Amino acid sequence: MHNEEGFIHHLISKGAHGFLLKNQDIEIVVDAIYGVIENGYYFNDSVSRAMVKGLVDNKKINSIFTEVSLTDKEIEIVRYISKELTNREIAEKLLLSVRTVDGHKGRILHKTKAKNSVGIIMYAMKHNLLG
């Protein structure tokens, strides 16, 4: 029920692996459940933005990642992630299945050594992939 950035930072620093606001649509809740099952975490877009903002503000973003090679499709998905699209919305835009997008996202996470969408966005910001 809280959505203040400071509260979100506190929860994550205490080890939270997911966070949803109380008023989320059932579709988002289902996505969150699958996200936790498949990836071990789920943070919605507002949480992702708060995490990135906190890392940028604390100047931790510049030393986290090394250079890796992403495919054109992976970069396209990274850009959609940074625009706050869900995996389902990305799948619709790219005419792919949600599971295919999940697979691409998993490879992006592995390649960038990110733990979640926030890490992907941080990587993209550092490497100017958001064009």
SS3 category, 39: helix
Q: How far apart are CA 79 and CA 16, in angstroms?
A: 25
Residue ranges of the domains in the chain?
5-126
Tens of pLDDT along the chain (131 residues) come to: 455 667 777 777 777 777 777 788 888 888 888 877 877 777 776 666 666 666 666 655 444 444 568 889 999 999 999 888 999 999 999 999 999 999 999 999 999 888 898 889 888 888 888 87
pLDDT value of residue 64: 45
- In sequence order, the β-bridge partners of residue 18 are 42
pLDDT value of residue 14: 78
Q: What is the pTM of this model?
A: 0.51
Domain 5-126 has what CATH class? Answer: mainly alpha
With CA atoms as reference, report the closest residue to 70 among 29, 129, 115.
Answer: 129
